Chain A
Amino acid sequence: MRNPHANLPENVFADDVERLPTRDGFGKGSIEAGRADPRVVVLCADLAESTRAEWFEKEFPARFIEMGVAEQNMAAVAAGMAAAGKVPFIASYAAFNPGRNYEQIRTTIALNEANVKVCGMHAGVSVGPDGATHQMLEDIGLMRMLPGMVVIAPGDAEEARKAVVAAAKHEGPVYLRFGRSATPVFTTEETPFEIGKALSLWESGHPKVAILSTGSLSHTALQAARSLEGGGIGSVVLHVPTVKPLDTEAVLDAARRAGSVVTVEEHQAAGGFGSAVAEFLAEHHPVPVKRLGVHDRFGQSGSPEELLAHYGLDAVSIENAVIKMSS
């Protein structure tokens, strides 16, 4: 059953569940953060509409800075602005931010402990038709390797809004990952969010498998869990928006109770969220782990649904992985 403490919407499994891209949460959250703190500024690299940075721009034109197609400069300018007391959010596609400007982020933001929030939009294969060049699948790995970097992959637009507000209050570098396509809004305003805290979405009476998921695929994991329970297989769904620092207490608890783990992410299986979970469990509570993600391949053009099915990240694929794990 659904975890009642998560305050999920009534229609979370219905066809009429609200669908919004998580980047909308950036638009809303940045305005909220901007109202709360005059130090907040938004920098964008020629993608104001599609990153939703223009929502902030309309509200705070003097605090929006158009950087042009120059992601390296954007990262280092933001580091300089942070040194001068601002709280910069830098927005572009994840393929370029942190894909293009990784070294600037490493040296001028991470090593420098600059109070900059790196926002990578259009992450994952669900970008769709744009194809492999724009479907960033390596960003979580890149960013979670950086000492001190907080890494958050919000599950839906509402959680993304909360994550942006929380990132503005957090002192230090943060990476926030957003998607392009409209995905189910499976949390509500009442759903708790805290950096570093996982959220249980589903609890079966006698779970055989813990499904640990990050980003918008957590809704898919939730659907899979409900379907599996109908088939007599109990599971836990732990939504883990903060990949770093990992909520090790919650991960350990879920692994202990279920005895096996399936991880789900729209990212390379190597180096991402599943790796973080597997690394932790291998050292602290070894249990069988199956990582669902993209396995050493690039993306390609297609619709988000086609691509998620192709790369084994739809509900059926999750169910199959759980069935295999539980037998």
Chain B
Amino acid sequence: MSLTDIEIAGLEKRAEAIRETIIRMLVAAGSGHTAGPLGMADIFAAFYFHILAHDPKHPEWEGRDRLVLSNGHICPALYASLAHAGYFPVEECLTLRSFGSRLQGHPERLRLPGLETTSGPLGEGLSQAAGMAYAFRMDEMSDVVRPTSNVERTTSDMGGRQRVYCLMSDGEQEEGNTWEAAMFAGKHKLHNLIAIMDRNNIQIDGMTEDVMPLESLRAKYEAFNWHVLEVNGHNMRQFVEAIDEAKAITEKPIVIIAHTIPGKGVSEIEFDYHWHGKPPTKEEGKRFLKEIRTMGGKLPHEYA
């Protein structure tokens, strides 16, 4: 199901709102990660406003798709998306990382509706997602009746199959656990598992290829019996179409390597690994928000 230009523009608008909220929450928190969340804002918008079968009013609905965020440190993007989707008030985002907040520094499933797992320590989200996908397939094969949908599936889902999506970083490909999971999913041909790798080339200590070379990621996953797609992670149409393509693969788990720009939307921090793990100051925040609101010059300043 291809999207109209208007629908694409709508998703881009959602991504812009998510970016704004990310900046506002990081400034309020005074700590947290900036580059990764901004880089993944487009993909999060695509998931929560188009791809996922989910129901913000009934977060525990059993028939929902699962989105597992493996690299929990980019949770500002997840929190902002959940809030904009209606899981909780957007203003609650400003409590990020503060005492008593449901928005912990790294996401905790039991504290906040809409989270599928607790994450932060790297390399274990793909295993959990594979476990979910395996369990769903067991149920399909044993005819366990899962509760029927209480929301319309808005995607071009084949047969309404419940899917598990795992968002992971490129840096966590350095974790051995990731490859144990890749081996497991490949062995069992878990085609209801779609992983998205945020290939932004940075990690805390520098560029991935300097810290610990990862390439060729495509060849590695193919060798583990995965189907590999590569997209521009900021091209909304391309990403949504890649998900549709992934759903048509029935013999392998799928990884979409999404090439993204860390810090996307704020030109002065884009590509700079120093922004992996620090938040903007108040002043920087103002400047960043202005640029995001004008969509990098796409809009005239008077609308900002």
Contacts and interface: CB of A to CB of B under 8 A. Distances in A.
Interface string A61-76: 0110101101011011
B118 A85 contact: no
Contact of B180 (A62, A63, A70, A78): A70
A77 B110 contact: no
Contact of B131 (A80, A103, A113): A80
Chain B contact residues: helix, strand, loop or mixed? helix
A76 B116 contact: no
A235 interface: no
Interface centre among A68, A79, A83, A88 (most CB of B within 10 A): A83
B235 interface: no
A73 B132 contact: no
Contact of B130 (A68, A72, A77, A108): A77
B184 A112 contact: no
B177 A77 contact: no
Nearest to B162: A84
A80 B118 contact: no
A107 B127 contact: no
Nearest to A110: B118
A72 B124 contact: yes
A76 B134 contact: no
A86 interface: yes
Contact of B121 (A63, A83, A84, A107): A107
Given A79-B128, A83-B132, A113-B110, A108 B184 contact: no
A78 B128 CA distance: 7
Interface size, B (range): 35 or more
B131 A78 contact: yes
Interface centre among A73, A82, A107, A111 (most CB of B within 10 A): A73
A107 B135 contact: no
B82 to A, nearest CB: 17
A104 interface: yes
B183 interface: yes
Contacts of A146: none
B119 A107 contact: yes
A46 B109 CA distance: 31
B230 interface: no
Contacts of A72: 123-124, 127, 176-177, 180
A77 B176 contact: no
B110 A103 contact: no
A85 B68 CA distance: 16
Contact of A104 (B124, B135, B136): B124
Given A73-B127, A73-B181, A107-B120, A112 B110 contact: yes
A14 to B, nearest CB: 47
B129 interface: yes
Interface in B104-155: 108-110, 116-121, 123-125, 127-136, 138-139, 141-142
Given A77-B127, A104-B124, 15 more contacts: A62-B138, A68-B183, A70-B183, A72-B127, A72-B180, A73-B130, A76-B177, A77-B181, A77-B184, A80-B130, A80-B135, A84-B131, A84-B132, A107-B120, A108-B124
Interface of A: 41, 62-63, 65, 67-68, 70, 72-73, 75-86, 88, 103-104, 107-108, 111-113
24 contacts: A41-B138, A63-B138, A68-B184, A70-B184, A73-B181, A76-B128, A79-B117, A79-B127, A80-B127, A80-B131, A80-B132, A80-B133, A80-B134, A80-B135, A81-B134, A81-B135, A83-B66, A83-B132, A84-B136, A104-B127, A107-B124, A108-B118, A108-B124, A112-B110
